Amino acid sequence: MSNVKILRLNNCSQSPKITLDTDKSGFRYILSQDLINNGRCLIEVVSGWSQITQQTLTNGEISSTQRIVPNNIAQIVIRSNIVQEGEDTLTGGAGQILGTMGLNNRVPGVVGVHPGTNGSNSAAFNQNEALTFVTEQLPSQIHLERLYWSDDPSTPASIPTLRPANNISLLNPPCIPFEVVLKLTFLDMN
């Protein structure tokens, strides 16, 4: 049996191993006990992407676009619950950030001055090479969350916090696709 496994985790799968978070900003994937029992592993984040908008079509034309984050947000991150060996000052131990996606924000046009720009409809991880870390053992479920940094505008000196990327609808949110591909190399496998 190979000590290398690839996990392609997508929130829009019909797999019975996937459970969406109530607000659809994240999902959980149940791992097999055999995979967990392989023990310590090196995790490489191969790739990741997210759709950013939900577009409504009318007569085949885009009639409206809603973003999963407010228009002034420039980045989305994907966080997991996989515990890494070592420390992470970014999350203070509240999960590992697997990747960051830079967004192009929409700038409205001004007649006679500039036409404006369109925002991102999707984004991929900003990475030149795979983020790599070691975990002692995989959890029973991998929880992936799509988040954005936000601060309290009433307190200019506030430290930004991570918030769920679920800006479209809280009542009945749509499932906006995102995906992360992980390469697992088990270190202690016989």
Structural domain includes residue 171: yes
Structural domain includes residue 61: no
How many whole angstroms from its chain centre is CA 5? 21
What are residue 22's phi and psi, to 5 degrees? -55, -40
Structural domain includes residue 180: yes
Pairing assessment for the beta strands 141-150 and 26-30 based on DSSP bridges: antiparallel
Structural domain includes residue 60: no
Return the number of other C-beta atoms located less than 10 Å from residue 178's C-beta.
27
Structural domain includes residue 92: yes
Over residues 115-141, the mean pLDDT reads: 84
What percent of the chain is modeled with pLDDT above 70?
Answer: 80
How many independent structural domains does the chain possess? Answer: 1
Model confidence over 92-108: pLDDT tens digits? Answer: 555 688 999 988 766 66
The three-class DSSP label of residue 87 is: coil
CB within 8 Å of 92: residues ≥ 6 apart: none
* Backbone angle region of 59, left / alpha / beta, with phi > 0 → left and psi within -120 to 50 → alpha: left
Structural domain includes residue 98: yes
CATH of the domain at 153: 2.60.120
* Backbone angle region of 95, left / alpha / beta, with phi > 0 → left and psi within -120 to 50 → alpha: left
Q: For the chain, give the mean pLDDT.
A: 84
Most confident of 108-112, 113-117, 146-150: 146-150
Residue corresponding to tokens 């200019």: 156
Q: Determine the pLDDT at residue 48.
A: 96
Most confident of 64-68, 74-78, 174-178, 180-184: 180-184
* Domain boundaries, position 92: 4-55+66-186
In the chain, helix, strand, coil percent, each to 5?
5, 45, 50
Structural domain includes residue 25: yes
Structural domain includes residue 125: yes
Model confidence over 29-80: pLDDT tens digits? Answer: 999 999 999 999 999 999 999 998 887 777 877 666 788 888 778 889 999 9
Nearest to 99 by CA among 90, 108, 107: 90
